[in-house]
Structure 1
Amino acid sequence: MCCEPETINHLFFSCDITALFWNELADMLNVESLHCYEHVASWWIGNNKYAVVNMVSSAFLWTIWKFKNDLHFGLVLWSGLQVIWHRLWRLLKRWKILCPKKLLGNAVGYASTK
């Protein structure tokens, strides 16, 4: 996605592209920006209150991992942020069964605008 040296932190958090996504996701979910692994992990540990945040952040990490591998192995070309958003929403549609319906309202509504 960019030409910076690849580290786990860079791939998932500090890359300009992923940082932009984390900021947009934080706005969408009405939480602080999720800018490092420790911050994301703090939502996951024993906190059912943030089930949607947990599901979306997990799906986003998986989406970035899969997309970066597809780029590396030449299965896709970088064509913009919309490709990643599309992949994320497709994955979330499959994963929504993992989250109680009463918690999905805003996230599903926002997803339809992307």
Structure 2
Amino acid sequence: MAEIGNKDWETLHDNFDTSDLLKAVDCLDALRGLLSDREHFQPVLRGELLKLHGLAMKVIGEGALAGAPDMFELAADLQDQVSEMADEIDQIAETLTRLLSLRPKSLDEV
């Protein structure tokens, strides 16, 4: 099995803070909160998207124009939630990308 040398370890040590991985866990926990991800429960976002679909069917499909304000308000709320989730996912991805950019070439040797 390939190993890394002291110089590679120093590069890792000097360029990556392991607490960033704990921050990634915090990001995931924030996502779980936003999704209400609990065992045997469906994410709240799913139900809200289905509710938005129902409103859109009435407004767009049936011409019930009085429901338009509710439809657009819910759409804006959901967009805010999804944008917040995207920010959390971006933070996780950035942390992993930084760590992987420090992968020593010695690990590629067989």
Report the TM-score, using the length of structure 1 for normalisation. 0.32
Greater CA radius of gyration, 1 or 2?
Answer: 2
Report the TM-score, using the length of structure 2 for normalisation. 0.33
Greater share of helix: 2
Higher relative contact order (CA 8 A, sep 6+): 2
